[in-house]
Structure 1
Amino acid sequence: MRTLPDSLAKTARAVLLGTSLTLAGGTVFAGAQPVAAASTADAQAVYNQFRKYVSNPASQAQARKYLMNHISKAGSWYGTVMTLQLENVQKAGLERFSEKLYSDSVQKALWDAQINNDMTYTEILKRVKAPAVRKLMEEIWDKGYKLETSEGMYYPVMHYEGFKAFKPYVSKDIAAYIDIMATESNKPSTFDAGIVITWDELIGRAANMSDFVQDYPKSNRTAAIRNELSYTVPLVLLGSDNTPAYDYDTNALDPELRRAYDHAQTKGTGDNKVLNILVKLVTLLNTFGNQKTPEVEAYLDQVVKQYTEL
């Protein structure tokens, strides 16, 4: 069943998004209201100092540390703006920073240390002996990234769990966005072309994303969640290369996935679009004996196209 309870989803839908502000890069934020007049000067001072750091790629780590130490003084409006700007900067710098890890010497040092995705930052530092590589690991952490490995390659990714420290100081939509992104960042749904979480959890993630898009249509991060949906919904319906929803030889639906489809509907689907897709799909599957017949395939293609061509 979906991870977000119906009661919380309905509460989220009651939130009205207010004023808007153009951020660096031309994006628009809609959400929290400005801070009270009594604290406006302090909030503005925090924001001004943060902007000095975040505007310079060389001080990205300093911008993150400054925000962690001062966001509580800024109020939710400025807090939200600064959190989104920090994310923008981290995402923009990720590819550039990744190049530092791709050298043969760094990759070999991490391989020799037998670093894996389950290790904490502290464990990684204990294992890595080369001073230059240790410094690079520290930089990863300070800039707000984390280390991952797949198919024999090490690379940095966004560490959204670190953004949870900002949740008490941002608008409700951005707090919900942080939770969604941290869930995937902490435990990716796929690894080496296989689905590595349960079907129930995968459906729950898709349902939560669908709720977000419907609850916060004007949020600055609705487009980002739509993008996540364009990846997650096809997984729910078709599986992945190494974890197919339907057997390649018989076209039979994975029995565990069918069980998950049924379980997702046990407490009702409400107006959640993803869960209502499953209602229609299950009706077809009942008619055609859980086989991917031309009729079932046509429906799957129709839905996937709706999400991947947004």
Structure 2
Amino acid sequence: MKKKKYLFLILGLIIIFVSSCTSKNSIVSKEDSSEKTKEELKESKKEKQEKVMIEFKALISENKEPYQVIEFIDENIEKVSKKESVEMLEDFEKLQESYIDLYTDELSKENRQNILSQTYSNSEIDPNKIEEIKDDELKELVSKIVKGRYKLVEKEGSYCPVINYVSFKDYEKFLSDELKEYLNIKIIESEAPAILDGKIAITWDELGSRLIRIEKYLTKYEEGIKDEELTRLYSEYLLMYISGSKNTPIYNDENKKISKEILDAYKKMASNNKKTITGEIIREYSQLIEDNDYLVDDTVTSRLLEVYNEAIGRLEENK
């Protein structure tokens, strides 16, 4: 009887042991299967992203029009990584820039500018009123331009395309902080150009603010993807800021004395931005003008290039 009890006990232990091993093996098997599924999904997603980017690059290499490329971006940007989204928008912006001259020439043919002027009284064409254009070919052209994320604005009496950076806000959630900050800088210039028809169209305070904003961007993102473009924009702003423009001099024509408003703007900028390169350069420049009895004559203008080069040089060193 005791032998039978021992036998049953041993059999029971064996069953429990085997059952336990089977259960553990089952769990391990499920975990392996789950990991395998994750890897397969990851590989599948990567393959889809690569396919999207191959198709996108093909559109760019074929020099498709911007409205065609942006349609593809709208349909596929959610399918790719953030890095690839940035690449898409970068390449698209370059494509837009390459088409500006072509579209400008098309808009200048025959009497198209007259038609646009007669149809629209504002300096910017309302994209919601394209149907008001009577000429069908021109209507189709304007429609393509607007769909390609441009604005049509009047410059020196003619309508021409400029990139509509505000429309890029639609893609913010897909972009890096660096590109978002770049777009915000471009939006400011796009919506309120610093210079129009040879005249500085914003205040000196605003111009100074833009300089500081770009300097902070360039020092924050060393050798960033938009380094060259924003260094160029900084250079343009700086020249305007220290020398004015053809139709907006920084001095009084009669006596060559610097405008009080502009000198005050220089001092304010220098005081509020002591730890910036731009602030230091402008402090030195305003002091130069004061030491010259507030005259903007050859003594000052002969130093403009030196001031400009020092600012750009120091900015490059601090990137």
TM over 0.5: yes
Gap regions ≥5 residues in structure 1 = 1-35
Give, in angstroms, the shift of residue 237 of structure 1.
0.4
Equivalent-residue separation in structure 2 for 1:218 and 1:37 (angstroms): 32
Change (3 A) 1:180 1:48: same
Q: What is aligned with 1:172? A: 177
Which residue among 34, 41, 45 is the counterpart of 2:47?
A: 41
| Superimposed CA distance per residue, residues 247-266 of structure 1 (whole angstroms, 9 cap, x where no aligned partner) | 23312111211222222234
Taking every aligned residue pair, what percent have the same amino acid on both sides?
21
**SS of aligned partner of 1:94:** helix
Q: Figure out how many residues of one structure are paired with residues of the other and give that number.
A: 273
- Do the aligned partners of residues 307 and 144 (structure 1) sit closer, same or farther apart at CA in structure 2, a change above 3 Å counting? farther
- 3-state SS of the aligned residue for 1:218? coil
Residue among 120, 126, 133 paired with 2:126 = 120
Displacement of 1:59 in angstroms is 4.7
**1:283 counterpart residue number:** 287
1:98 counterpart residue number: 104
Aligned counterpart in structure 1 of residue 306 of structure 2, from 292, 302, 305:
302
Q: Secondary structure at the match of 1:290?
A: coil
- The residue aligned with 1:66 is 72
Contact 2:123 2:153 in 1 (8 A): yes
Q: Verify the 8 A CA contact 1:61 1:142 in the aligned structure 2.
A: yes
Question: Is the alpha carbon distance of 1:253 and 1:219 closer, same or farther for their aligned partners in structure 2, counting shifts above 3 Å?
Answer: same
Indicate if the aligned counterparts of 1:195 and 1:240 stay in contact, CA closer than 8 A. yes
Deviations 1:154-177 (A, max 9, x none): 211222222222332222222221
Larger helix percent: 2
CA contact (8 A) 1:76 1:170 kept: yes
Q: Kindly indicate whether the alpha-carbon contact (under 8 Å) linking 1:229 and 1:307 is maintained by their aligned counterparts in 2.
A: no
Deviation at 1:83? 0.9
Q: 1:118, 1:138 → 2: CA distance?
A: 14
Please say if residues 67 and 145 of structure 2, whose CA atoms lie closer than 8 Å, have aligned partners that are also in contact: no
Checking the alignment, whether the CA contact within 8 Å between 1:265 and 1:275 is kept in structure 2 is yes
| Corresponding position of 1:259 | 264
Q: TM-score, normalised by structure 1?
A: 0.79
Per the alignment, residue 18 of structure 1 pairs with none
Question: Offset of 1:285 from its aligned partner?
Answer: 3.1
Query: Within 2, Cα distance between the matches of 1:43 and 1:306?
Result: 45
**What residue number does 2:208 align with?**
203
**Residue 145 (structure 1) shift:** 1.7
Where do residues 88-167 of structure 1 align in structure 2 (5 Å cutoff)? 88-123=94-129, 125=130, 127-167=132-172
> 2:143 and 2:121 mapped to 1: Cα distance?
15
User: Structure 1 pair 200/120, CA: closer, same or farther in 2 (3 Å)?
Assistant: farther
Structure of higher CA gyration radius: 2
Runs of 4+ in structure 1 off by over 4 angstroms are 36-39, 305-310
Q: For each residue in 1:40-81, what CA deviation from the matched residue of structure 2 results, as whole angstroms up to 9, or x when unmatched?
A: 334323322322333323353121122134323312111111
Q: For the Cα contact (< 8 Å) 1:167–1:178, is it kept in 2? A: no
Q: Distance in 2 between matches of 1:120 and 1:59?
A: 21
Contact 1:230 1:307 (C-alpha < 8 Å) held by counterparts: no
Alignment gaps of 5+ in structure 2:
1-41
